[in-house]
Amino acid sequence: SQQGEEDPQALSIQEGENATMNCSYKTSINNLQWYRQNSGRGLVHLILIRSNEREKHSGRLRVTLDTSKKSSSLLITASRAADTASYFCATASTGLGGFKTIFGAGTRLFVKA
Amino acid sequence: NAGVTQTPKFQVLKTGQSMTLQCAQDMNHEYMSWYRQDPGMGLRLIHYSVGAGITDQGEVPNGYNVSRSTTEDFPLRLLSAAPSQTSVYFCASSPPLRAGGRETQYFGPGTRLLVL
């Protein structure tokens, strides 16, 4: 079964609003990453937060991590139509030499202009 | 750098046929992996490799083989294609491990496979 589960599965907002996506996971992790995927394209890395960090910012992105609740959230502020995409969380945990990364099912974000 | 490249972009197979999906990266990344993406399922890890000559299974390895003879290439082989293997396949690579676990993965554009 997948490690990460995103919530909600789909989100539709107006341009300028904030979008919040959540990710829950099951086992201990080394880090958690968020990726974006435009329709029909490969995934693009957005931000990485390590297990000893609680919050991280990158431009309009804010990621939080609560290891006690095994959850993370991605906040996109002042959303734009170009933010329309699917967003995935991915957890990296110890496997063969610490190299196993597992993805969640994703949140589809639709930003209306 | 070309980054991560995948060939072919599209492929149609008949049940029972075999084929190899190619993946190459020119960033000297140690770690490479293969995922499949099905509607509503996100990405599921098939196999991964931490370096030339070293591979391991992911979440859904059955029906797939991999090998890693060079740092640059990580082909995925379907031995006897089944309709359940209809999916979009993504290859990814990562730079050498730093403390804290797996770092950023760089994804290829994907291969769309249809098995009839």
Please indicate whether, in this complex, the C-beta atoms of B44 and A2 are within 8 angstroms of each other. Answer: yes
pLDDT digit string, tens, across residues A17-31: 999 999 999 888 888
Please report the pLDDT score of residue B103 as a whole number.
67
Nearest residue in B to A28, CA atom: B101
3-class DSSP string for chain B: CCCEEEECCEEEECCCCCEEEEEEECCCCCEEEEEEEECCCEEEEEEEEEECCEEEECCCCCCEEECCCCCCECCEEECCCCHHHCEEEEEEEECCCECCECCCCEECCCEEEEEC
A106 touching B (Cβ < 8 Å)? yes
- Which percentage of chain B shows pLDDT scores above 90? 72
pLDDT digit string, tens, across residues B26-63: 988 888 999 999 987 789 999 999 889 999 998 899 99
- Residue A98 banded pLDDT, cuts 50, 70, 90: low
Please indicate whether, in this complex, the C-beta atoms of A99 and B50 are within 8 angstroms of each other. Answer: yes
CA distance to partner chain B, nearest, from residue A67 (Å):
15
Nearest residue in A to B5, CA atom: A42
Residue A11: pLDDT above 90?
A: yes
- Residue B99 banded pLDDT, cuts 50, 70, 90: very low
Please report the pLDDT score of residue B59 as a whole number.
86
Residues 6+ positions from A8 with CB-CB distance below 8 Å: A21, A22, A107
CB crowding A54-64: b at 16 or more within 10 Å, else e: eebeeeebbbb
CA distance to partner chain A, nearest, from residue B18 (Å):
24
pLDDT digit string, tens, across residues A71-97: 999 999 999 999 999 999 998 876 655
When pLDDT is averaged across residues A34-38 and rounded to a whole number, the result is 94
CA distance to partner chain A, nearest, from residue B5 (Å):
11
| CA pair distance B88, B81, nearest whole angstrom | 14
Please report the pLDDT score of residue A95 as a whole number.
61
CB pairs under 8 A between A and B: 86
Please indicate whether, in this complex, the C-beta atoms of A33 and B109 are within 8 angstroms of each other. Answer: no
B39 touching A (Cβ < 8 Å)? no
Please indicate whether, in this complex, the C-beta atoms of B59 and A44 are within 8 angstroms of each other. Answer: no
